[in-house]
């Protein structure tokens, strides 16, 4: 391993976590971190007094540049946009004890996406990755006072939009760990009611103001708008399952598909596996005995890394 790699690798996980939170994409986060490494390799490292600050600053600035083009693409995105699902939240965790350090839930990530790029960066660096405002100011090339205001505005948005009382993110660790019994039972009831077409049973396990967000990116079938309300949500879920009987290539359900429980972005979830790899993830925001929100990712571009990760794990 080269000297550049030896100095870089201890920080890779943290940088990936920062980039993923900035961009909402595993693939783009990996690209940003690789670009950071190339700049680190080319730098005069003997003159870098604080590698942690240098690397985080470089990654943040790369992500800010990437967000400009990402937001332009987002304007043309078909249907709702969701971050790419991740299974191993521990791999993206910062070395801090901040309240939100382990939170990679869709609710938080979508709240971050409402922020301006600079608000997002200031909030993440200070409130999640435990950087001082002096360091944040140097990274963003703004005054400390300006960075404090950016972080404060972001913090207010997070408090306003992040749901209260929802099930907390899963404890970081082995991504293959099982759901707790209560969540497994609820998800099993959901799967049975959906596939059997039992609207009454399904409605009973959905909160009255439940929200379903589906991301197909225009590549496969998905709802082009957020589905709200237990009645509409139940009809939608049963409807797409029944319509899948036509066995089209992008069907929501086929006989060859197999569901498996998983922890998705720290939330209880179900992955639908086809012979060629995952075709859908569903992350459930649960409060008490009901489902408050359901985040479904069907865009194949956002699931590709899950198949790659599983292939690597099987080969080890």
Give a three-class secondary structure readout of 111-164. HHHHCCHHHHHHHHHHHHCCCCHHHHHHHHCCCHHHHHHHHHHHHHHHHHHCCC
Distance CA 188, CA 213 (A): 20
Residue 4 confidence class, pLDDT cut points 50, 70, 90: confident
- φ/ψ of 12, rounded to 5, equals -60, -45
Distance CA 145, CA 277 (A): 49
Answer whether 281's CB lies under 8 Å from 85's CB. yes
So what's the pLDDT on residue 244? 53
Give a yes or no: residue 128 inside a domain: no
Give a yes or no: residue 118 inside a domain: no
So what's the pLDDT on residue 314? 47
Query: Backbone dihedral region of 260: left (phi > 0), alpha (psi from -120 to 50 degrees) or beta?
Result: beta
Give bridge partners of residue 277 from the DSSP assignment: 274
Task: Give the residue, 99 or 273, on which the prediction is more confident.
Answer: 273
SS3 198: coil
Give a yes or no: residue 198 inside a domain: yes
User: In this model, does residue 173 exceed pLDDT 80?
Assistant: no
So what's the pLDDT on residue 167? 44
Mean pLDDT of the chain: 87
User: In this model, does residue 206 exceed pLDDT 90?
Assistant: yes
User: Do 189 and 311 reside in the same domain of the chain?
Assistant: yes
**Domain count across the chain:** 2
Q: What is the CATH number of the domain that holds 4?
A: 1.10.1740
User: In this model, does residue 109 exceed pLDDT 90?
Assistant: yes
So what's the pLDDT on residue 165? 47
Give a yes or no: residue 172 inside a domain: no
So what's the pLDDT on residue 252? 66
Answer whether 78's CB lies under 8 Å from 218's CB. yes
Average pLDDT over residues 173-191: 78
User: In this model, does residue 177 exceed pLDDT 60?
Assistant: no
pLDDT tens for residues 15-34? 999 999 999 999 999 999 99
Least confident of 22-26, 99-103, 235-239: 99-103
Q: Of 31, 60, 76, which residue constitutes the final position of a domain?
A: 76
So what's the pLDDT on residue 178? 63
Give a yes or no: residue 114 inside a domain: no
pLDDT tens for residues 241-255? 875 555 555 556 667
Q: Of 50, 76, 102, which residue constitutes the final position of a domain?
A: 76
Task: Return the half-sphere exposure (C-beta side, CA atoms, 13 A cut-off) of residue 222.
Answer: 28
The residues, ordered by sequence, that sit 6+ positions from 115 with a Cβ below 8 Å of its Cβ are 123, 153, 154, 157
pLDDT tens for residues 37-91? 999 999 888 888 899 999 999 999 999 999 988 777 878 899 999 999 999 888 8
Helix axes 51-74, 3-23, angle to 10 degrees: 40
Give a yes or no: residue 97 inside a domain: no
Rounded alpha-carbon distances, angstroms, from residue 313 to 245, 306, 310 = 33, 11, 5
So what's the pLDDT on residue 268? 95
Average pLDDT over residues 256-274: 91
Give bridge partners of residue 262 from the DSSP assignment: 269
pLDDT tens for residues 123-161? 999 999 999 999 999 999 999 999 999 999 999 999 888
So what's the pLDDT on residue 97? 77
User: Do 72 and 185 reside in the same domain of the chain?
Assistant: no
Distance CA 216, CA 226 (A): 12
Average pLDDT over residues 211-216: 96
Give a yes or no: residue 25 inside a domain: yes
So what's the pLDDT on residue 94? 87
Query: Which of 73-99 are b and which e, b meaning 16 or more Cβ less than 10 Å from the residue's Cβ?
Result: eeeeeebbbbbbbbbbbeebbbeeeee
Q: What is the CATH number of the domain that holds 242?
A: 3.10.450.50
So what's the pLDDT on residue 117? 95
Average pLDDT over residues 211-239: 94
Query: Which of 286-311 are b and which e, b meaning 16 or more Cβ less than 10 Å from the residue's Cβ?
Result: beeeebbbbbbbbbbebbebbbebbe
Q: Of 28, 61, 76, which residue constitutes the final position of a domain?
A: 76
So what's the pLDDT on residue 54? 95
Give bridge partners of residue 268 from the DSSP assignment: 263
So what's the pLDDT on residue 232? 96
Average pLDDT over residues 216-238: 94
Give a yes or no: residue 209 inside a domain: yes
SS3 184: helix
Distance CA 154, CA 150 (A): 6
The residue range of the domain holding 208 is 181-315
So what's the pLDDT on residue 51? 92
Q: What is the DSSP letter of 78?
A: -
User: In this model, does residue 215 exceed pLDDT 90?
Assistant: yes
């Amino acid at each position: 391993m080269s000297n550049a790699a030896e100095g870089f690798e201890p920080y890779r996980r943290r940088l990936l976590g920062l980039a993923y939170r900035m961009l909402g994409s595993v693939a783009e986060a990996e690209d940003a971190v690789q670009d950071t490494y190339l700049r680190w390799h080319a730098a005069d490292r003997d003159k870098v007094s604080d590698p942690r600050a240098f690397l985080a600053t470089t990654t943040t600035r790369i992500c800010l540049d990437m967000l400009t083009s990402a937001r332009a693409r987002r304007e043309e995105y078909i249907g709702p946009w969701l971050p790419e699902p991740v299974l191993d939240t521990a791999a993206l965790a910062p070395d801090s004890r901040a309240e939100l350090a382990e939170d990679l839930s869709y609710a938080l990530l979508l709240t971050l996406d409402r922020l301006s790029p600079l608000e997002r960066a200031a909030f993440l660096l200070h409130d999640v990755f435990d950087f001082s405002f002096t360091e944040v100011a140097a990274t963003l090339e703004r005054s400390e006072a300006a960075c404090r205001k950016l972080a404060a505005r972001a913090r207010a948005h997070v408090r306003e939009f992040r749901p209260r009382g929802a099930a907390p993110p899963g404890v970081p660790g082995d991504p293959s760990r099982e759901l707790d019994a209560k969540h497994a039972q609820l998800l099993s009831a959901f799967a049975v009611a959906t596939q059997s077409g039992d609207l009454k049973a399904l409605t009973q396990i959905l909160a009255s103001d439940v929200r379903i967000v589906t991301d197909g990116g225009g590549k496969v079938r998905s709802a082009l708008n957020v589905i709200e309300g237990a009645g509409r949500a139940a009809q939608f879920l049963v409807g797409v399952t029944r319509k899948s009987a036509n066995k089209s290539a992008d069907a929501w359900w086929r006989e060859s598909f197999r569901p498996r429980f998983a922890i998705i972005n720290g939330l209880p979830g179900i992955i639908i596996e086809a012979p060629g790899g995952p075709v859908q993830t569903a992350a459930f925001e649960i409060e008490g005995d009901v489902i408050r929100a359901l985040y479904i990712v069907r865009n194949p571009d956002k699931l590709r890394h899950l198949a790659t990760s599983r292939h690597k794990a099987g080969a080890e």
